[in-house]
Structure formats: C-alpha cells, structure tokens
Amino acid sequence: MAPCNPRLTAVNIRSEIYEYNDTPVSVWTVRRRVSKSGVNARRPAHKPLISEKNRGTRLDFARTPIDWKSEQWSEKNIDRALIQTWGSFALVIIKLLARCRWTPSL
C-alpha cells in the first residue's frame, strides 16, 4: 500500500486493513512490516515552484543559439540571474523504496 501512495501513514494503512479484513492490527505492526519490506520514510526532494515570468525567462535562455562565441555568453551575465522561488515550509513525510529518491508521480 505504501509504494502505491507514499503519503499514507501507518494509521491509514491499519484502518484500510481493518476495513477490508476486519482484522485488528497494531500501528507498530504496520510500521515494522512496511519498514521490513524496504520502504523508508523520508522527506520528499525539494522541487521549487517557478513563476510565469521566470519560466518565460528560462525558456528564452534555453532557446538561445548553441553556437554562440564566448564573448556573447559573457554578455549574458548568467551567474547574476535571479530565479525567484517560493513554497510551503510545512513538514511532509513520504515513504519511498530504499534506493528511490525521485518518483515521477510525486
């Protein structure tokens, strides 16, 4: 269940098990079984949100000619570009398989 929905908690999984099987299971039992199956709780990788203005600026930069000379690239001031990011500071925990950091569905 945890690999299908990484934001499920042990309490949610326990309630689903009880709903389908009418079997009372301890939350600690669920945690141990999920942990032994190789699914670990981690914070999700940070993915900053990009404003429409910065998205357009980055797209324009990506479309610049590849065959530019170094003088033209030095005029661009790439290292001084400001990319505005924002997001929530709420703590989120997800469950991932042991060697997975990125999951396309998240």
Please check the confidence at residue 103 and state whether its pLDDT lies above 60. no
Report strand pairing: 85-86 vs 94-97: unpaired
Q: What is the DSSP letter of 47?
A: -
Asked if 43 and 36 count as a contact pair (C-beta separation under 8 A), the reply is: no
Provide the token pair at 70.
């170094």
Task: List residues bridging with 97 in a β-sheet.
Answer: 39
Whole-model pTM over 0.75: no
Residue 28 has pLDDT above 90, yes or no: yes
- Residue range 53-62: mean pLDDT, rounded: 83
